[in-house]
Amino acid sequence: MKTIILNGSPKGNVEKCGSYLLAQAFAKKMSTPCEIRSIIKENRLDLIESIQHADNIILIAPNYIHSVPAQTLDFLLALPPAKGNQTLGFIIQSGYPESSESEIICRYLNRLGERLGYTVSGSIAKGECAGLAIVPERFKKLLDEFSAFGALFEQTRQFDRQLVEKFAKPVRLSKPLMWLLNALTPLSDVLGWNRIMKSNQAYEKRLDTPYLGPAQVKTMNG
Ligand SMILES: Cc1cc2nc3c(=O)[nH]c(=O)nc-3n(C[C@H](O)[C@H](O)[C@H](O)COP(=O)(O)O)c2cc1C
């Protein structure tokens, strides 16, 4: 069985890329070597040709603004329909702890895979990955779990349900924790966040809502 992993991060296949590190871990314990290809850095037609010769396709992509990066989404929209019994699975990793950040894009991708005739292996929303590429040594447990997950996938061609649920925790932070985090907001000065914003000339813009038109802003403000 040939498996191809598609890295959907704009950073490409470099050590400073969280998606690439997860892809390497996923492939590490597979008995058949698995290609890791970069959606954004490679020629699209070559990549599609390779996909058509694979049995299993896994997308590992970061969450950028509640979705996957635009170029990755554009590539996915150009995916050809499944050939034979091909599987397609999705792993979306994000910076914030709550995996609910990726809930909607995962649902969308599952539906896209089904519509294209793939057997959808499943989808994983994994939060708290912002530090992965910065301090990978702190993520050893996660990377080991991903290796075991990849080996299991190779045998079943399906994402293990229990592991999917485990990776997704926490789906949402508890109310008391949210309350505590909100209460800490006034400490932004002490924690240094405001200083970083000021040094980047971003402090005055911190409450901007660039994606809302004037009409929507008016509605929000009553
Ligand atoms: C432009 C941009 C937008 C992001 N948007 C989100 C977001 O909406 N939610 C979230 O949880 N993390 C968000 N993140 C954090 C990334 O998902 C996280 O750092 C991820 O591990 C980066 O993976 P990569 O190294 O494979 O690109 C964003 C990061 C960037 C650079």
Domains in the chain, please, with CATH?
Answer: 3-168 (3.40.50.360), 175-220 (no CATH)
Residue 85 Cα to ligand 1 midpoint, Å, equals: 32
Considering only CA atoms, which of 116, 117, 121, 149 is closest in space to residue 56? 121
pTM higher than 0.85: yes
Is the Cβ atom of 18 under 6 angstroms away from ligand 1?
yes
Please report the pLDDT score of residue 177 as a whole number: 94
Is the Cβ atom of 126 under 6 angstroms away from ligand 1?
no
Residue 68 Cα to ligand 1 midpoint, Å, equals: 9
Give the tens place of pLDDT for each residue, 34-79: 999 999 999 999 999 999 999 999 999 999 999 999 999 999 999 9
Q: Which residue among 64, 71, 72 has the greatest number of ligand 1 atoms within 8 angstroms of its CB, and so is best to mutate?
A: 64
